Amino acid sequence: MTDSWRQPRRLLLLALGALTVFFLMAPTLVVVPMSITASNALTFPPEGFSIRWYEKMLTDPQWSNGFVHSAQVASLTAVLATVLGTLAALGTVRGRFPGKSAVNALVLSPLIVPVIIIAIGMFSLFVRYKITGSILGLVLAHTALAVPFVVINVATSLRTIDRNLELAAMNLGADPLRTFRRVTLPLILPGVLAGGLFAFITSWDEVVVSIFLTSARFRTLPVEMWEQVRQVVDPTVAAVATTLLAVTTSLLLLVLVVRRQAPAR
């Protein structure tokens, strides 16, 4: 296709692409220089250099608690979502049962249903069982939101495995459980890990549902940020934003590394 192109058209496309990349990535990076400004306000270009906003983030109990809570919730969510999601992926890809498309729709629906509806619904239900403002409530909620990503990743991994490998293992004497342990599981492990990381990221960055399910005592970092962002113009928020971004980006790069480890067929 490239041979039939004339230069101007292609250059235009490239320019537009570059512009789009800039549009996609640059605005977000603004928070980074903001977080190291020496002044009290969010002026640009940032005046001076100071890391006191990071210090404030780590020392101010409001922020540091939020950090800890976020980490706790995200880790537990990652574990729970990975377990439930991996099992479900195995069940839907390998299992045969009627109504599979309905189950698939159910599993993916947290991605499509507007999150505010999920938020007030869960709030309504969790209030009754008094699990708002607790780790349990948040983990349950975040897991429901994160699990579609796990299922998608593991299911894709499963589908790309050559079925003959499992047949070969059985032919060579491995019963279904040993086949799964020795052949299937190692081959889907990158998918499982990637799914787990995506689940962590989803929980780590989750705002809307968390707004409803947190309380003054138990807040996650994004909720803390949300409260601040609408009122105070404090560069600490920029430091928090940068931290959130840094964690997410490193985890994403980790996913890319994990994916690359997937053994060839």
Partner 1 sequence: MSGRSRPWGAVPDRPALALRNLSKRFGDVPAVDGVDLEVRQGEFITLLGPSGSGKTTTLRMIAGFTLQSGGTIEIDGVDMGHVPPYRRDVGMVFQNYALFPHMTAAENIAFPLQMRRVGRPEIRRRVADALALVKLEGLGERYPRQLSGGQQQRIAFARAVVFNPRLLLMDEPLGALDKKLREALQLEVMHISRQLGATVVYVTHDQDEALVMSDRIAIFSKGRIEQLGTGEDLYDRPASLFVADFIGESNILRGRFEPAGDGGWLVRGPWRWQVGAAAAARASLGGGAAAALVVRPERLRIVGADDTGAGPAVVVNAVEATVRDVLYLGSMRKFELVLPDGTAAVVRQQRGGGAHERRPGDQVRLTWAVDDGVLVADPHG
Partner 2 sequence: MTRGSGRRLRGGGPIVDRWALLAIPLIAFLVAFFLVPLIVVSLRSVADFPKPTDDVFANYGRFFDSAANLRVLANTFWVAALSTVVCLTLGYPYAYLMNIVRPRVAGLLLIAVLLPFWSSLLVRTYAWQVILRDTGIINTFLLDWGLITEPIPLIRTTLGVMLGMSQVLLPFMVLPIYAVMRRIDPEYTKAAANLGAPPFAAFRRVFLPLSLPGVLAGSLLVFVLALGFYITPALLGSPKDTMISQFIANAVQQRLDWGIGSTMAVILMGLTLVVLFVASRFIRLRDVFGSLEES
| Residue of 199, 57, 220, 58 whose CA lies nearest to 138 | 220
Please say whether the beta carbons of 145 and 81 come within 8 A. Answer: no
**What are the DSSP calls for 180-243, one per residue?**
IIIIIHHHHHHHHHHHHHHHHHHHHH--HHHHHH--SSS--HHHHHHHHHTT---HHHHHHHHH
Q: Which amino acid is at 7?
A: Q
Question: Toward partner 2, which CB reaches closer, 36 or 118?
Answer: 118
Question: Toward partner 1, which CB reaches closer, 10 or 182?
Answer: 182
Q: Is 186 in the site for partner 1 (CB under 8 A)?
A: yes
| Residue of 76, 57, 4 whose CA lies nearest to 221 | 57
Per CB under 8 A, which region of 40-48, 57-65, 71-79 contacts partner 2? 40-48
Question: Toward partner 2, which CB reaches closer, 153 or 218?
Answer: 153
DSSP 161: S
Binding to partner 1 (CB under 8 A): which residues in 141-170?
162, 164-165, 167-170
Q: Is 251 in the site for partner 1 (CB under 8 A)?
A: no
Tell me which residue has tokens 């903001």: 34
Q: What tokens appear for 236 in the block?
A: 């600490």
| The CA-based dihedral angle spanning residues 164, 168, 174, 180, taken in that order and rounded to the nearest 10 degrees | -30
Q: Which does 199 bind (CB under 5 to 8 A by kind): partner 1, partner 2, none?
A: none
| Residue of 63, 36, 27 whose CA lies nearest to 240 | 63
Rounded to whole angstroms, the Cα distance separating 241 from 124 reads 30
How far lies 208's CA from each of 30, 166, 187, 205, in Å?
A: 23, 43, 36, 10
Binding residue for partner 1, selected from 131, 145, 146, 187, defined by CB under 8 A: 187
Q: Which does 30 bind (CB under 5 to 8 A by kind): partner 1, partner 2, none?
A: partner 2
Q: Is 265 in the site for partner 1 (CB under 8 A)?
A: yes
Q: Is 258 in the site for partner 1 (CB under 8 A)?
A: no
Question: Toward partner 1, which CB reaches closer, 56 or 259?
Answer: 259
Applying CB under 8 A, the site for partner 1 has a residue count of: 21
Report, in Å, the least distance between residue 262 CB and partner 2: 14
Q: What tokens appear for 173 in the block?
A: 């004497």
Q: Which does 265 bind (CB under 5 to 8 A by kind): partner 2, partner 1, none?
A: partner 1
Q: Which amino acid is at 86?
A: T
Q: Is 51 in the site for partner 1 (CB under 8 A)?
A: no
Report, in Å, the least distance between residue 232 CB and partner 2: 12
Q: How far is CA 108 from the centre of its chain?
A: 15
Q: At what angle do helices 52-59 and 61-94 cross, to 10 degrees?
A: 80
Q: Which does 173 bind (CB under 5 to 8 A by kind): partner 1, partner 2, none?
A: partner 1
Binding to partner 2 (CB under 8 A): which residues in 198-257?
198, 201, 204-205, 207-208, 211-212, 222, 225-226, 229-230, 237-238, 241, 244-245, 248-249, 252, 256
Contacting residues toward partner 1, per CB under 8 A: 162, 164-165, 167-175, 178-179, 182-183, 186-187, 263-265
